[in-house]
Amino acid sequence: ALVIGIDSYTEHSVLTASVLDAKAIMTFLKSIGVPNWNIIELHNEGATFDGILKGFEALSRRSNIRKGRSTILIYFSGHGTSDYKSALPRDQERYWSGWEENVIEQILPQDVGRMPSIPDRMVAAWLNKLAKEKSDNVILMLDCCYSAGMTR
């Protein structure tokens, strides 16, 4: 599992319960027998753009996740937003080129402003990679604004 909760942003308004919500998910996972070593937990300063990317990469490298036998949970609680394609940095173009819609939903890492947001197409690419390589049972839970079209 990858559990992310962000209350304190570098350049965005503060939230009050996202980390608490992430900790509640952790408590639930432990209550159903998921061992600590099988959970990646990122809070506040640990949930930067690079931290979240490394969390997804760590899931894809886990040898104990077996296709057909494992479930992967990804939980994000924090800020979300939406914007038009033209407002995203050009280096993220590969994640949305070819899509018909002009609106992009995004999750905001802790260091948004210094680093880019994480667009829905990037999230979808990560999920598709996990589903193809690790498990066909990938659950994404988003507790943020503008999350309805996140996985396309």
Residue 90 banded pLDDT, cuts 50, 70, 90? low
Q: What's the gap between Cα 71 and its chain centre? A: 16
Per-residue pLDDT band for 121 (boundaries 50, 70, 90) equals confident
| Sheet order of strands, 118-119 included | 80-84, 103-107, 118-119
What integer pLDDT is reported at residue 100 of this predicted model? Answer: 46
pLDDT at 63: 85
- Residue 93 predicted with pLDDT over 90: no
Q: What token pair was written down for 37? A: 């070593």
Q: What's the rounded Cα separation, in Å, for the pair 109 and 46?
A: 9
> What is the residue-averaged pLDDT of the chain?
87
What proportion of the chain, given as a percentage, has pLDDT over 70? 85
pTM for this prediction: 0.86
Domains of the chain, each with CATH number or no CATH: 2-143 (3.40.50.1460)
Name the residue among 146, 144, 109, 147 with its Cα closest to residue 21.
144
